[in-house]
Amino acid sequence: MSEKETNQAEVETTEATETAVETQTTEKAAPKVSEAQANPEKFLEEFNWHNYEEGIEQVDDKKLQEFEKLVSENFVDTLDDEVVEGLVIHITDRDAIIDINAKSEGVISLNEFRYNPNLKVGDKVEVLIDVREDANGQLVLSHRKARVIKAWDRVNNAHDTGEIVNGFVKCRTKGGMIVDVFGIEAFLPGSQIDVKPIRDYDQYVNKTMEFKVVKINHEFKNIVVSHKALIEADIEEQKKEIISQLEKGQVLEGVVKNITSYGVFIDLGGVDGLVHITDLSWSRINHPNEIVELDQKLNVVILDFDEDKSRIQLGLKQLSKHPWEALGDTIKVGDKVKGKVVVIADYGAFIEVEEGVEGLVHVSEMSWSTHLRSAQDFVKVGDEIEAVILTLDREDRKMSLGIKQLTPDPWTDITTKYPVGSKHTGIVRNFTNFGVFVELEEGIDGLIYISDLSWTKKIKHPSEFCNVGDNLDVLVLELDVEGRKLSLGHKQTTDNPWDKYETEFALGTTHKAEISEMVDKGATVEFNEDIVAFVPSRHLEMEDGKKLKKGDTAEFKIIEFNKEFKRVVASHTAIFKEEEMANVKAAVAKAEASAAEAKPTLGDANDALQALKDKMDGKK
């Protein structure tokens, strides 16, 4: 039995003795009838035989009530779900003895006070009754559990009221930090550490910081805290003050907060503004990091903002004088300038002649050639080139440049170098549906019409005759100096074989050949690689009345030869039908006489020839 229990028993015994003495004294002084004597039946019915048998004396109800009142005022109710405050009355090597005003003192292991190495006798601590009494009758308490319960109460209260709490950053974890708040581990997301991106998380480890409890998951006992929320609250106040004072043209100091490919975000002290990449420098740049770096302090000017001033457009280059304004008066049209190619487009290249001052070299000003090509064929970005100023507009800040003007115009002495009738060799540059462009030299291009490519071949498209890049012999046919046009011919570099064929395949001459193809209304016969003659159906008839067919070899007599239209008509039947041949000659002579007499147009001549052909075919 503990010391407290012993003392309590002594008090109870003394009080019981005093009560008995009092009763005896009273009986001696004034004898009276007891309740048992007055009403024996009731006494026997209510008599506690168990207490009588156990030898327990009866205590007056009034005394019991006084005792219960004394206990309630001086001792705590040892429930196991209630946190109470205790007093450290003794500390051993392993435990701390805690008085919580119960029947006995409690014991707590010193391991639960590792966070508080300065614990001493007389300190008040919060405890939770872990085990009411152990095997030795000792009250077992828990300070750790009490801290957790109290901590959860404080965390919940901080979440509900928005109270700012202190926390100790213990370590890094995936996506953020672990923070000790009231002895409970809470999660601090990386995005909630600061308003600006954090590049070094380790700088916050082992630091005590202020936080706001932003989320609690009671089911999984998870707590999320934020330090950023406190900063944002302060920034919001600063932001309102700054925004109210913003004006266009105002110059402010800011810090580079973030760099993107399209611009730079500047922190103006709680308000963010954007400097677009085109407003960073008067010169062209590929990326903003060529001009600024993170956390750099710089002055910027307010260019514009929306009605609620939530989007602020800033400028950096506007703080310096425009390069066009600083451009010297000595520079003028016709001057030669040097610069660097900064941008290339299909239509030309932009040359930076001074910082922030650019001129355009159109692709047509890169070469004297009238055959336009892409600017990439002449220059590339980063090239240092020389050019001539063609136009200069200081008000509109525009300048056009030329490269070809640095070399003589090849058309100045074109009549001497390329007179009509002269032969040359050129390079096939490109095709059109109607001809081929041939470059004789840089800046001198000429056109060969499709009809001037070959004396004998029927060409539908120039690509059937040659390829781009081929060397081609040409003859200058026409020259237009003012229009810078050169008409060339390829077939004219060789003799016209039809001049020879006109004699070889004259009317009435006989040639042996094979029927190569059967075509509509007749057949074709190849006399050589250039001459393909047409044989009408009625002229395929042999002397025995049968007709020639594909693959048959026979003799054919030329009954028509037209050098201009490259038309040859032959007949096998005319060989043994002289009369038929005579009729044909008469018809041809008559047609030629009529043509000479009436001087018909080309269309009329074609109609006459067609009529003759129809007659020979037996249509009329």
Q: Say if residues 229 and 214 touch (Cβ distance below 8 Å).
A: yes
Residue type (1 letter), 31: P
Which pLDDT score, from 0 to 100, does residue 64 have? 58
Over 50: is that where the pLDDT of 22 sits? no
The whole-number average pLDDT for the span 198-226 is 84
Q: Which residues pair with 523 in a beta bridge?
A: 518, 535
551 or 151, which is more confident? 551
Find the mean pLDDT for residues 556-574: 87
Spatial contact of 207 and 165, defined as CB atoms under 8 Å apart: no
User: For residue 428, what are the β-bridge partners?
Assistant: 438
CA 388 to chain CA mean position, Å: 40
User: Residue 534: pLDDT above 90?
Assistant: yes
Q: Between these two residues, 133 and 226, which has the higher pLDDT value?
A: 226
Long-range Cβ contacts of 53-61 (<8 Å, 24+ apart): 57/16, 59/16, 59/19, 60/19
Is 616 a residue whose pLDDT tops 60? no
Q: What is the pLDDT of residue 411?
A: 82
Contact between residue 514 and residue 520 where contact means Cβ atoms under 8 Å apart? no
Q: What is the pLDDT of residues 234-261, one digit of tens each?
A: 777 777 777 777 788 888 888 998 999 9
Residue of 611 and 502 predicted with greater confidence = 502
Q: Answer whether residue 605 shows pLDDT above 60.
A: no
Q: Would strands 485-489 and 444-449 be described as parallel, antiparallel, or unpaired?
A: parallel
**Integer-rounded Cα radius of gyration of the chain:** 59
pLDDT in tens, 335-347: 888 889 988 888 8
Q: What is the mean pLDDT of residues 62-90?
A: 63
Residue 113 reports pLDDT greater than 90: no
The confidence band for 263, taking pLDDT boundaries of 50, 70 and 90, is very high
Angle at CA of residue 52, ends 47 and 54, nearest 5°: 140
Q: Which two tokens stand for residue 578?
A: 């002289």
Phi, psi of 543 (to 5 degrees): -65, -30
pLDDT band at 7 (very low <50, low <70, confident <90, very high): very low
pLDDT attached to residue 15: 45
Res 265: pLDDT:
92
What are the tens digits of pLDDT across the range 40-63? 666 666 666 556 555 555 556 666
List, in sequence order, every residue forming a beta bridge with 524; answer none if it has no partner: 517, 534
pLDDT on residue 50: 58
Which of 74-88, 101-115, 539-553, 578-592 has maximum average pLDDT?
Answer: 539-553
374: its two tokens: 């892409």
From the list 358, 336, 337, 338, the residue with the least C-alpha distance to 348 is 358
Q: pLDDT tens, 336-379?
A: 888 899 888 888 999 888 888 888 999 888 887 766 678 888 88
Report which of residues 480 and 582 the model is more confident about: 480
26 pLDDT higher than 60: no
**CA separation, residue 147 to residues 70, 78, 112, 159 (Å):** 30, 18, 10, 18
Which pLDDT score is estimated for 275?
92
Give residue 10's pLDDT: 45
Percent of the chain with pLDDT over 90: 9
Cα–Cα distance for residue pair 144/115, rounded to 1 Å: 10
Q: At what angle do helices 61-74 and 3-29 cross, to 10 degrees?
A: 150
pLDDT of res. 18: 45
Q: Is residue 74 over pLDDT 80? A: no
